[in-house]
Chain A
Amino acid sequence: MALDGSLERLRREGRIVVVGASLAGLRAAETLREEGFTGTLTMIGDEPYEPYDRPPLSKQVLLGRVPADHTALPRRRAIEAQWRLGAAATGLDLSAKRVALADGTSVEYDRLLIATGVRSRPWPNELEAGLDGVFVLRTRDDATRLRHRLKAGPSRVLVIGAGFTGSEIASVCRERDLPVTVAERGPTPLSGALGSVIGDVAAQLHHQHGVDLRCGVMVTGLEGDGVGRLRRAHFSDGGTVDAEVAVVALGATRNTEWLAGSGLAAGPRGIACDAGCRAFDVRGIVADDVFVAGDVARSPHPLFGYRFLSLEHWGNAVAQAEVAAHNMICRGEERRPHLWTPYFWSAQFGVNIKSVGVPNMADQIIVSQGSLGEHRFTAAYGYQGRVIAAVTFDQAKWLEFYQRQIEQAAPFPPPFATVDRRTEGMRPVPAGFPDPSVPTHGPQVTVSGYSPTDQRVTFTPAGHGHHA
């Protein structure tokens, strides 16, 4: 069967625009070329840099082992793109098939990929956020600035929020022998992502490494010294801490504002798309020429009841970008679904943490191998009698097995004998996730219901929220 004429023309001389020049955008561009797209490829990015890798920013870069500008992503192949870096996309006209840029120009497309990702949620009080010494960590420039300040040896660093990024920053501070206080509104570090059973282990790691960890408190204010430098933070329990540096690690906000009014189903939860990465419009109908990939996407996952998941995971960005790129230039019957099983890792306090599945959908947890007390274990998460996720602390080699358990909807608790099963592995316990209606610093997996447009979700803008 011959290729449809217009598809053939698209592949040969079409115009593809990728908005977002980070991991997902780059891998998509490479896949497009790999699969034979020879037309015009435009890469639009708000940062002035070619695609770079973010995971090292909160680890090797802050430690001073790798300069921030040595994090460029390795290239799989040449992509021969027209780069529009440093010019953020500001608007989308679906009917004219045109993306507007901050520099006043616009770019027309035949196919569009949206991979604008997320940005760190800023400190809600703008005046306080502007104090010298208050940082966020998302970009290469953020990392350069923070690293410079850590190197100067501040008297104390305050980390606001003990999710993965916050915990990694605290770990780096301790490795640099800097006094550090961590403030977390949840009962433990990582409780939003992994629940408080595992969060208790994370808290032990903080304590063991000399972190001043304060859980169940909010930072109510940041105080300057009169010349605009951070001096002190105030807590909801009435306490204070003197710190020269505060790192705001309150999770991320999806970069969708530029799509307001475009007609796409884009909002604070991300951009809804089908499993084939095609964007939904506000009517809940998929667009044929607009695709989504990476942190900004939310798509239904068959393994998790077709619920819409938003995943801020490195591996998801790669896998989804590859699927999106393939589907952008193939015939309808050749489209592939994005069936990636959520997977992420973190390195903190000398421990390698990995997770597979969607832990925060779980109701129960069991330590199936190893021991929480030894900080080396594999824990399986259960939801309504089936395995839904697993996490390992320094036992990553078992994760693939549990991934298959998740993919096969295997029963929970796991009914079989394994190596290294201890007494604590005999009975499941509640996993200890916070009430999902309470906003936290933002877990890296968000389960956001069944509807593409998801009108039921009400978002509390950070500025009016709990931290101010």
Chain B
Amino acid sequence: MTSVALLGQILDYANRADPYPLYAELRRTPVVRDESGPYLVSTYWEIHSLLHDPRVSSDIRNLAPEAKTAPRTEDPDLPPSFIRLDPPDHDRLRRLIMRTYGPPHAPRRVYGLRGEISGIVSGLIDRFQGRDRIDLVDDFSYPFPVTVICRLLGVPQEDEQRFHGWADTVATAIEPAVGTPEEQQAHWQAIREAHHQLAEYLSGLIAQRRRAPREDMISALATDRGADESPMSLPEMLSNLTLLLIAGHETTVNLITNGMLTLLRHPDTLKQLRADPDLVIPLVEELLRFEPPVQLLPERTTLDDIEIAGTTIPQGASLWLVPASGNRDPRRFPEPDRFLPDRPDNQHFGFGSGIHNCIGSPLARLEAQAALAELVRRLDNPRLVEDPPPYRHNAVLRGPRHLPIAFDGLSR
């Protein structure tokens, strides 16, 4: 049995700015056991196959305790969110959410946010007025998606600041704790506290909307009685709303930041986009392939032996799929390391695939398209201040911590 010692290197912060050479090395053996325990899968078709394989479980309870290494983001006092469950429980929760979020029951939910999204984008860019330098992350990418999520869920504008605070703290759980044991203790304590406050706030909002429903998604969730199965309990609602908040937040921040970084590294493409704003649609797809916000899908479990690519992954193994590597697989994408904004046949793993395919993808697409097209249109002569920029610690949800951009002025 061959094994490699690559997972440690991928997780090593020193390789955060450019993990792609490591993925290329990994792809030399499509399915391989890492010496730290898990099986790594790095090639397109093998990832695709396992994402559609009913012998693969996402339920954390199927994982051996010693295999649980990825940081926990969920509130330990709530039931698991649907992303960490298998059918039929996963399907029930996902269906109930979809009833309030997408077609056929709520076909206008995301589409109807277009006006708000472009308003939020314009408002954030207006604040760059009079400056010749911004940090795209702090000044734009970070505040943007959480504001959109507030509007989607129906968090009143006067509460948005508090909501931002909890979102920030809860999201830090995806970073490994650093510092002295006391500091780590304080870190987890703060996250737990934020979870509790967020849950309490959401419970209040749910109760309120139950009494006086509005047009928002929380009202729809709180009052949906139309399904042919038991409606979501309050703990289920809290758990899954928190998931939507975290998953829809960090990933979109990184998508937009990676997007500007990629455009600034490809000035011809940036010019092209400025001349032809409709290019943003395929460009965002290529971005999702080229710099996906979710690089790895850790900790799935095999319910049976699975034979794949000449290897048998034994039952009970911990599986780490590497979609960011599959996205660069030359057997699937010609010239995989080139950023080609109008690349044809671009079925990337930017949103995963299979039953856990990103539920937020239609919203993320709208957000990234609106943000990138407008940033490129309005920033006059934007350029990178440093390359590579400083990255967040996280290897799974990978993106710059700051992205300083200099520019000459702001168009209307």
Interface residues of A (CB under 8 A from B): 368-371, 374, 376, 378, 395, 397-398, 400-401, 404, 416-420
Contacts and interface: CB of A to CB of B under 8 A. Distances in A.
Given A369-B87, A397-B357, A401-B53, 18 more contacts: A369-B54, A378-B54, A395-B87, A395-B91, A397-B52, A397-B354, A397-B355, A401-B49, A416-B305, A417-B55, A417-B304, A418-B304, A419-B54, A419-B59, A419-B86, A419-B303, A420-B86, A420-B87
Given A376-B91, A397-B354, A397-B355, A416 B86 contact: no
Interface of B: 49, 52-57, 59, 86-88, 91, 303-305, 315, 354-355, 357
Nearest to A374: B88
Contact of A370 (B49, B57, B88, B315): B88
A271 B198 CA distance: 66
A400 B52 contact: yes
A395 B86 CA distance: 13
A398 B303 CA distance: 16
B304 A419 contact: no
A9 B304 CA distance: 57
Contacts of B55: 416-419
19 contacts: A370-B87, A371-B88, A398-B54, A398-B355, A400-B52, A401-B49, A401-B52, A401-B53, A401-B54, A416-B303, A416-B304, A417-B55, A417-B304, A418-B55, A418-B303, A418-B304, A419-B54, A420-B54, A420-B88
Nearest to A422: B88
Contacts of B57: 419
A395 B94 CA distance: 13
Give chain A's interface secondary structure class.
Answer: mixed
A85 to B, nearest CB: 31
The 7 lowest CB-CB distance pairs between A and B, nearest first, are A418-B54, A420-B87, A419-B86, A416-B304, A417-B304, A417-B303, A400-B52
Contacts of B305: 416
Interface centre among B54, B57, B305 (most CB of A within 10 A): B54
Given A397-B354, A397-B355, A419 B52 contact: no
A370 B355 CA distance: 14
A371 B88 CA distance: 10
A419 B49 contact: no
Contact of B52 (A368, A376, A398, A420): A398
Interface centre among B49, B53, B357 (most CB of A within 10 A): B53
Contacts of B315: 417
A398 B87 CA distance: 11
A370 B54 CA distance: 11
A207 to B, nearest CB: 15
B86 A404 contact: no
A372 B57 CA distance: 22
Nearest to A401: B52
Contacts, number: 50
Contacts of B53: 401
B250 to A, nearest CB: 25
Contacts of B56: 419
Interface centre among B57, B87, B357 (most CB of A within 10 A): B87
Contacts of A371: 88
Contacts of A401: 49, 52-54
Nearest to B58: A419
A369 B55 CA distance: 11
A203 to B, nearest CB: 18
A418 B87 CA distance: 10
Contact of A404 (B49, B88, B355, B357): B49
Contacts of A416: 55, 303-305
Nearest to B353: A397
Nearest to A403: B52
Nearest to B104: A350
B201 to A, nearest CB: 34
A371 B355 CA distance: 17
A444 B54 CA distance: 28
A419 B54 CA distance: 6
A374 B230 CA distance: 13
Contacts of A378: 54
A398 to B, nearest CB: 6
A161 B354 CA distance: 35
A378 B52 CA distance: 13
A378 B315 CA distance: 22
Interface centre among A368, A376, A418, A419 (most CB of B within 10 A): A419
Contacts of B304: 416-418
A401 B53 CA distance: 6
Nearest to A404: B49
A420 B87 CA distance: 5
A130 B154 CA distance: 58
B392 to A, nearest CB: 31
Contacts of A368: 54
A270 B303 CA distance: 45
Nearest to A415: B304
B215 to A, nearest CB: 23
B221 to A, nearest CB: 21
A370 B229 CA distance: 15
Contacts of A397: 52, 354-355, 357
B188 to A, nearest CB: 31
Contacts of B355: 397-398
Nearest to A398: B54
Contacts of A395: 87, 91
B393 to A, nearest CB: 32
A417 B52 CA distance: 14
A176 to B, nearest CB: 16
B170 to A, nearest CB: 28
A362 B372 CA distance: 53
Contacts of A370: 87-88
A162 B59 CA distance: 40
A299 B157 CA distance: 63
A167 B357 CA distance: 30
A374 B88 CA distance: 11
A414 to B, nearest CB: 9
Contacts of A419: 54-57, 59, 86-87, 303
Nearest to B306: A416
A341 to B, nearest CB: 15
Nearest to B91: A376
A417 B305 CA distance: 9
